[in-house]
Amino acid sequence: MKIDERGPKHIGIILDGNRRWAKARGLSVNDGHKAGAETVKKIVRYAYDCGLEYLTLYAFSTENWKRDASEVKLLMKLLEKFTDELLNDKDEKRDIRIKIYGDISRLDKKLQDNILSLEKRTENNSKMTLGICLNYGGRDELVMATKSIIDEVLSGKINKEDVNAELISNHLYTKDIPDPDLIIRTSNEYRLSNFLTWQSTYSELYFPKDIMWPDFDEKQLDIAIEEYIKRNRRFGGN
């Protein structure tokens, strides 16, 4: 489908259910994450072709470090492979700006280097912004923003009275993009799990029933967008 003025400009997706998808098929956790990575590629291409302006994916949270070490290692390798493919694809014609949101300092140096190279290479692209949340947590983001604002107040750059919602938004990782209109979470979970905590205040939420992330496809994205169009967004008004 093509997204018109009624549709969302920014969609956030919580990629959930890779492990349950694999378990239901008698496959390994590794197989589930690999299948999920292929779904990411498919949905990014389709969202771009639909005309979506911003797509933000929750790929690895600050809490995901608590998982089994072998699973974390696999996820990091998949992320490195994904960024390698983007960097080495000389035929990629899509006009996509790539932004990484989160504290990348804990990631392997190779992955950090890939991230910085991708952001630099794509910084002038403008048709769609693909945001990938890595080592990201909404509360950590707010703590980071608060510390930055405190430093500016103490240094005299701004006054305490200058602190408002707009100022806080401008100190977040996502300061240069609009808040998400629609957030989708797969796998029958009905919570945001520390995803875009500040930015999601007025986001519409959509939870596709009985769909694990590896099974989320173009049709499912169409259904989510159509559901969004039906809703009446009041932003706290009557």
Any idea which residues carry the catalytic annotation? 16, 64
β pairing state of 204-206 and 128-136: unpaired
Tokens of 143: 């703590």
Provide DSSP, 41-102: HHHHHHHHHHT-SEEEEEEEEGGGGGS-HHHHHHHHHHHHHHHHHHHH-TT----EEEEEES
How far lies 171's CA from each of 124, 129, 134, 166, 178, in Å? 21, 19, 18, 9, 13
Tokens of 10: 């920014």
d(CA 115, CA 46): 22
Contact 83, 41 (CB under 8 A): no
Helix ranges, the chain (H): 18-24, 29-50, 69-88, 109-122, 138-154, 165-169, 218-230
Residue 55's identity, in one-letter code, is L
How many CB atoms within 10 Å of residue 128? 20
d(CA 222, CA 227): 9
